[in-house]
Chains A and B, each alone.
Chain A
Amino acid sequence: MSVKQPFERVVVAHGPTVLRVCRAVLGAADAEDAWSETFLSALRAYPDLPADANVEAWLVTIAHRKSIDVVRRAARQAVPVADVPDRPAAHDGRDLDLWAAVAALPEKQRHVVAYHHLGGLPYDDVAALLGGTAAAARRAGADGIATLRTTYPDIDGGRR
C-alpha cells in the first residue's frame, strides 16, 4: 500500500527536476515563476492526489500548464520597445550557454526534451500533453538532443 508523503518531501525530492523542466521550457528568467506556481497549485491539490499516483509525472504535467500561463501572461504584458533588452544572465552565470542552446531549439523539440528527458514523462504521456503521436514525440526528442550535441558540445560532460 502506498503512503502519501508529507508535501515537504515532495518539494525536496522533485523540486530540482521541476526547476530543470521549467528552465528548459521557459529559460532561466521565467522558470522560477513557473516553479512557484507549479508547487502552489500542487500544494492546493495534493490532498486529493491518489496515494499511488506518480508524483513526478503529476508535477511535470502541472509545470507544463503553468509554463503556458507564464508565456501567455508575458505576451499580454509585452510592451513594444525600441531595443530588445539583453537576456537576463542566469544569476550565477553557470550553464548559461546550455540553457541558451536549449532555448534555441524548435518549440516541439524543446518541450519533448523538457518533459521526457528532464521530467521523466514517458513518450505516450508527452504526446498526450503536446498533441501528436508518441512516435513523433520520440523523433522530436531525438532531433533535439542531436541538435544540442552540435550547439553545446559539452553536453555529455556533466559540467557542474
Chain B
Amino acid sequence: MLRFIVRRLFGMVLVLFVVSVIVFLIFNVIPNSPPAQRLAGKNATPTLVKGIEEEWGFDEPLPKQYLTMMKKVFNGELIQYSPRVPVGDRIKEGIPATLSLSIGAGIIWLAFGLLLGYLAAIRAGGWLDRTLTGLAVAGISIPVFLLAPVLIYFLTYKLEIFPNGGYVGLTEDPWEWLQHMILPWFTLAVLSIGFYSRVLRSNMLDVMNEDYVRTARAKGLSERKVMTRHVLRNSLIPITTLFGLDFGATIAGTAIITEVLFNIEGIGLYAAESIGKLELPPIMGITLYGAFFVVFINALVDIAYAYLDPRVRLGSTAR
C-alpha cells in the first residue's frame, strides 16, 4: 500500500510538470504573434509590450523562458495587465466562492445520486425504478444554461424566494450565504444526480448477481447487511473514481457557466472574464491552478481506490 502511495504521488509530480510544459508551449511558443503582445492584452501600449518582453525574456532560449515563467508563477509575480493585479491574488479571492459551490453541490449530488440509485436498484423493474430513471435522464439532458435562467426567472424574479445571484461569504452571513447558494447548488447537481444514480443502479444490479452475494445470503446474513456490506460496498468502488474526476474538475473551475449565470465571484467567473478580455496571464494562472487540483484529487482518488479494492494493490502478481 505504501509503495502504491509513493508511486502515485511521484506520478502526480510528473504529470504536473508535463502540464506546465504544455501550458508554457501553448501560451508562449505556438501561436505566431509575438508573445509579449498577447500577454499585454488588447489595450496594450508599446511601452507595456516592451516591458513585458524584457521581464519575460522572450529573446532567451526556450528552456530559460520556461524557467522564468515558472518562477513568476511560484513567486506570485504573474500579473494581469488591466487592471494591474497579481493573478494569484485574484485566484485566492475566488477560491471561497468556488469551493462553496463545488463542495456543496458535490455533497448534494453524491448523497442524492447514491440514494436514488440504491432505491432504483433494490426495486429494479418496479414503478419507482422507472420513475427515477425518467428523472435521471431528464436531469442529464437539461443543459445548465437552460436550467439556470429558468430557475432564476421563476424563483428569484417571479416568486422572489431566492436572491438574484451574487455571492455572500459564509463567514459574513451564513444565512445569506445559504440562500445565495441553494439555486446554484441545485443547478450544478441536477446533471450529476441523474448520472450517479444510473451508475450506482447499474453497478448494484451487476454485483447482486455475483457469487459472493449468494454466499453472503447462504451464511444467513440479514438482507440489509447483504445489501450494504456486500452489494453497496463493492458497487461504490467505481463511483469513487468518477466522483474524484468530477469533483476535481468542478473545483478547477469547470462550473464556469453556473458561476457566470448566477454571478458568483469564483474562479470560473474570473476565467470567463479573462477569456472575454483575452487576457493571457489570468488564463495561464487558472489553467495551472486547475491542473494542479485535478491531478491532486485524482491521485487521492487512486489511493482511495487501492484502499477500497485490495486486488489493485498487488499489481502484476495478483493470482
Pair from one complex:
no
